[in-house]
Amino acid sequence: MRIAGTVQDSIVDGAGLRFVVFTQGCPHGCDGCHNPETHDFAGGIEREVASVVAEMLANPLTDGVTLSGGEPFAQARDCAEIAAAAKSNGLNVWVYSGWTFEELLEQSRGDTDTRRLLGLADVLVDGRFELPLRSLDLKFRGSRNQRILDVPASLAANVAVIREK
């Protein structure tokens, strides 16, 4: 898979202490994006999924993995492998996407990798970064349009369900 980088011990990319994978490549082109270096699908570095998983599991204090970007769903198959390894080792899974839950649900009907990654996610922070809606007061998201969703509840209800604090 292609990634921009990884971060250990993050407390700003989801609840608890997190291992973060910044995937490389993003099709959304949000105005004001903070990570423009992650947009090029040919940029970043190539990493074996197994090596990313080993890095994730190396820290026994980690609460969960956050798949961020870039756009994780552009590499849904590899991200789902990481998410599956996280879940089977007791870690929770947060995923950031420029696509909304509704868009991902639609995509998942024709794409098993998207369906699998969505099904493994505990939390989805969804939607493009909208510069006019930016606020520095928002926890774990950049603009007010973005939602922090309880994915299992959303999938069960077939409608986006906001995660309770």
> Which of 14, 44, 70, 72 lies at the binding interface for ligand SF4 (CB under 6 A)?
70
Which is closer to ligand SF4, CB of 53 or CB of 74?
Answer: 74
Of 79-138, which residues contact ligand SF4 (CB under 6 A)? 98, 128-129
| DSSP 3-state of 156 | helix
Span near ligand SF4 by CB under 6 A; candidates 44-52, 66-74, 116-124, 130-138: 66-74
Tell me whether the omega of the peptide bond preceding residue 70 falls within 30 degrees of 0, making it cis.
yes
149 binds ligand SF4 (CB under 6 A): no
Closest separation between CB of residue 70 and ligand SF4, Å?
6
Which is closer to ligand SF4, CB of 30 or CB of 149?
Answer: 30
Span near ligand SF4 by CB under 6 A; candidates 7-15, 63-71, 80-88, 104-112: 63-71
Closest separation between CB of residue 19 and ligand SF4, Å?
19
Output 153-160 pairs: Cβ under 8 A, ≥24 positions apart: 154/101, 154/124, 155/118, 155/119, 158/105, 160/100, 160/101, 160/102, 160/126
Chain position carrying tokens 């998983």 = 53
DSSP letters along 32-91, please? T-S-GGG--TT-SEE--HHHHHHHHHT-TT--EEEEESS-GGGGHHHHHHHHHHHHHTT-
Span near ligand SF4 by CB under 6 A; candidates 13-21, 26-34, 47-55, 148-156: 26-34
| DSSP 3-state of 114 | helix
Kindly list the residues in this chain that would bind ligand SF4 in the complex (CB under 6 A): 26, 28-30, 33, 35, 38, 69-71, 98, 128-129
